[in-house]
Chain A
């Protein structure tokens, strides 16, 4: 499986690593829903560290699509809301 850390790059991840990411992801979503920014911050950091230490970095010129995308580790609660809102945080593609 390929994991993308947004703003950082792509990594090859084992099934075991993915399972642990899923566990952390559930808690991160719960923290975001509860408006608990420090907890969200901590969990995102943990997910990032896990991928960076245990995943294998793909070369920059690899054109594979990712199976999993993890938002930036320093994403704020407010940005998280915007990212998933209709308005979005990523500007539209160049027209």
Chain B
């Protein structure tokens, strides 16, 4: 039974054959391979950019949620001061959900960060090998007889093909992770849209409205009291004036 190492090695070898089989004429293998290496470098750069974009989106969500936590705290305090424990409880419940989401986001951002670092390391290695391949390619063309060159070409193309397969795997895994995060973010969006989860990141919530009502009510009460006071005072004044 083959182990993990030999099976992985076979997968990589099959990948390299697939790559090199496309250059049918051995004399063009060097240039063909070099062209593909440059394309792979572009792919990995794009991969890094995709991870960075996904990370920024999550960082933005984090910022919004972080602003929400003290706001919900404040709402809970106001609600309690107004004698509305039910509203205070609702605000605190939402604060807990926000904090849980924040924790999840932190982990997701850290995961994407790790993917980004890995891809950058892959890019650095591939880039160094592509550069080495480029100079070796010229040496092979200039200095070796056709028969000798075949062996050298095959060696160099296999060596760098391995790095390309390695990079291909890293790009794929980073892409899978990024897609998972986006699917999760979309699922949260959907929860918000269907009302299963209050969207405290967008504008006014029902909590805001109820608190505004309470505050409006108490303002009306205050004004009423003031007016009553004025009326009472006015009435007393009038009585005094009427009595000579």
Contacts and interface: CB of A to CB of B under 8 A. Distances in A.
B9 A69 contact: yes
B118 A7 contact: yes
A95 to B, nearest CB: 7
Task: Tell me the interface secondary structure of chain A in the complex.
Answer: loop
A32 B4 contact: yes
Contact of A60 (B11, B36, B43, B128): B128
B22 A95 contact: yes
Given A61-B128, A65-B155, A79-B173, A90 B4 contact: no
Interface stretch (B59-67, B78-86, B93-101, B160-168): B160-168
Please indicate which of the listed interface residues A32, A44, A83 has the most CB atoms of chain B within 10 Å of its own CB.
A83
A60 B105 CA distance: 34
Contacts of B18: 92-93
A60 B124 contact: yes
A63 B136 contact: yes
A91 B168 contact: yes
Contact of A28 (B3, B162, B173): B3
Interface in A15-36: 21-22, 25-26, 28-29, 32
Interface in A59-83: 59-66, 68-72, 79-80, 83
B122 A63 contact: no
Contacts of B4: 25, 28-29, 32, 44, 70-71, 80
Given A61-B131, A63-B159, A80-B4, A93 B166 contact: no
Given A7-B166, A71-B8, A83-B11, 14 more contacts: A6-B170, A7-B118, A29-B3, A29-B7, A32-B4, A60-B125, A61-B131, A63-B156, A65-B158, A80-B4, A83-B169, A90-B168, A93-B164, A94-B43
Interface of B: 1-5, 7-9, 11-12, 15, 18-19, 22, 36, 39-40, 43, 118, 121-122, 124-125, 128-129, 131-133, 136, 155-156, 158-160, 162, 164-166, 168-173
Interface of A: 4, 6-9, 21-22, 25-26, 28-29, 32, 44, 59-66, 68-72, 79-80, 83-84, 88-95
12 contacts: A21-B5, A22-B5, A29-B4, A59-B128, A60-B124, A63-B159, A65-B162, A69-B5, A70-B4, A70-B8, A89-B169, A93-B36
